[in-house]
Amino acid sequence: MRADPQIASRFEKLELPVWTESQELRRFIAGYLALLPIKRSSAAIDKRFVEYLLELSEGVTGSIIDVLRRAALQGIADKTQKAGLVQLQVVGAKMPSVVGQRA
């Protein structure tokens, strides 16, 4: 819709708030991971996992999904079939640093 100014002007632009560490975020992460072709482990979604995910994604929903997808692909590549903290750290090491860039 943003590509067409006439259509875009017909809708109010809303910005979603960034995520913070919470049970709601943990449920969102667990729900998204359940959609991916990897082993499911809610125990893997601990505080360190969530904090690091938020650091990598800046709490933006689209970025969270992208990082989780990349972690799942890493889990498939390393044959663990998981998207845990280890896979997240591998993904984070490959990403450009985003810490402190948010205004």
How does residue 102 score in pLDDT terms, banded at 50, 70 and 90? very low
Residue spans per domain, the chain: 16-94
- CA torsion sign for 42, 44, 47, 52 is negative
Instruction: Please check whether residue 45 is in contact with residue 12, taking contact to mean a CB–CB distance below 8 angstroms.
Output: no
Q: What is the distance between the alpha carbons of residues 71 and 34, in angstroms, rounded to a whole number?
A: 13
Among residues 79, 43, 51, which one has the least CA distance to residue 67? Answer: 51
The residue with tokens 């709601």 is: 24
Q: What is the mean pLDDT of residues 52-60?
A: 96
Q: What is the pLDDT of residues 15-28, one digit of tens each?
A: 889 999 999 999 99
Architecture of the CATH domain 16-94: Orthogonal Bundle (1.10)
pTM of the model: 0.81
Instruction: Please check whether residue 38 is in contact with residue 72, taking contact to mean a CB–CB distance below 8 angstroms.
Output: yes
